[in-house]
A and B are shown apart, each in its own frame.
Chain A
Amino acid sequence: MSEVVKKFMYLNRKAPYGTIYAWESLEVVLIGAAFDQEVSLMFMDDGVFQLTKGQDTTGIGMKNFSPTYRTLGDYEVKSIYVDADSLVARGLTQDDLVQVAWEDWESGEEKENIVEVVDAARVKEIMEESDVIFSF
């Protein structure tokens, strides 16, 4: 589509369900997939709670949108980063988070899980490398 490929980063800092931010971010990511850019997602602060496994919203009468995260590899999302310090502060480890598989349908390259826990230094680098940052 467009000739210039930019690095898009979606920065997620809010917990799901309590506010609409997490869902809105996910919707924009899915829509943005049509623009053929290099997309990464960053989860920090309460945003790490968006990726927890086993979410079951039947008791609160809200849509459970967490299964959608597992399909992001099919929507041009190449990398998903999680801030390590945010996990630790919340008593979480990577085992608490969903896995997201990725496959390049042109080259056939596959990755079992693109969710990567990164330290603060790496978060800074990723932000610096991004051309556009969408904040939620």
Chain B
Amino acid sequence: MSILHTINKSPFERNSLDSCLRFATAGASVLLIEDGVYAVLKGASAEAQVKGALGNLNVYVLGPDLKARGFSEERVIEGVKVVDYAGFVDLAAESDKVQAWL
């Protein structure tokens, strides 16, 4: 049924985000972690892609990774939900499986 997709690579350096969004099915969850968090910055070149994904996917970003890189929640694209590690665990538990886009 539902898959939790995690992306830990920068969208400016790897195609993990592209591939994930190509294959994620409607209603799935996508969680951006580590260098993947750069995808959710307002005004960045991945913005249109992420906004498009919000139409049929749940998009999350890991707060501690965002904070480590110097970005507050105000810099995050509207509609993307910020979660902490407990939220990450909840998402994994609620999903049938986890697909990691390395």
Residues of A within 8 A of B (CB): 14-19, 45-46, 49, 52-60, 62, 64, 66, 89-92, 96
A62 touches B10 (CB 8 A): no
Q: Does B70 contact A (CB under 8 A)?
A: yes
B68 touches A53 (CB 8 A): no
State whether A56 and B67 are in contact (beta carbons under 8 Å apart), knowing that A15-B10, A46-B12 are contacts in the complex: yes
A17 touches B47 (CB 8 A): no
CA distance A49 to B42 in the complex (A): 15
Partner of A56, one of B47, B68, B75: B68
Distance in Å from the Cβ of B47 to the closest Cβ of chain A? Answer: 7
Chain B residues lying within 8 Å of A56, measured Cβ to Cβ, are 67-68, 70
Stretch of B33-41, B53-61, B93-101 on the interface side: B33-41
* Apart from the given pairs A54-B72, A56-B67, 16 other A-B contacts in the complex at a CB distance below 8 Å: A16-B69, A18-B34, A45-B13, A49-B38, A52-B69, A52-B71, A55-B70, A59-B64, A60-B64, A62-B68, A66-B70, A89-B45, A90-B41, A90-B45, A91-B44, A92-B44
Chain A residues lying within 8 Å of B65, measured Cβ to Cβ, are 17, 59-60
Chain B residues lying within 8 Å of A14, measured Cβ to Cβ, are 13
Distance in Å from the Cβ of A62 to the closest Cβ of chain B? Answer: 7
State whether A18 and B35 are in contact (beta carbons under 8 Å apart), knowing that A45-B12, A90-B41 are contacts in the complex: yes
A46 touches B68 (CB 8 A): no
Distance in Å from the Cβ of A96 to the closest Cβ of chain B? Answer: 8
Shortest 9 CB-CB contacts between residues of A and residues of B = A59-B64, A91-B43, A18-B35, A52-B70, A91-B44, A55-B70, A57-B68, A54-B70, A89-B45
Chain A residues lying within 8 Å of B45, measured Cβ to Cβ, are 89-91
Residue of A nearest to B70 (CB): A52
A49 touches B69 (CB 8 A): yes
B68 touches A15 (CB 8 A): no
Residue from A58, A62, A92 with most neighbouring chain B CB atoms (10 Å): A92
Partner of A91, one of B42, B64, B67: B42
B35 touches A64 (CB 8 A): no
CA distance A45 to B10 in the complex (A): 11
B62-102 vs A: 1/0 string, CB under 8 Å? Answer: 01110111111001000000001000000000000000000
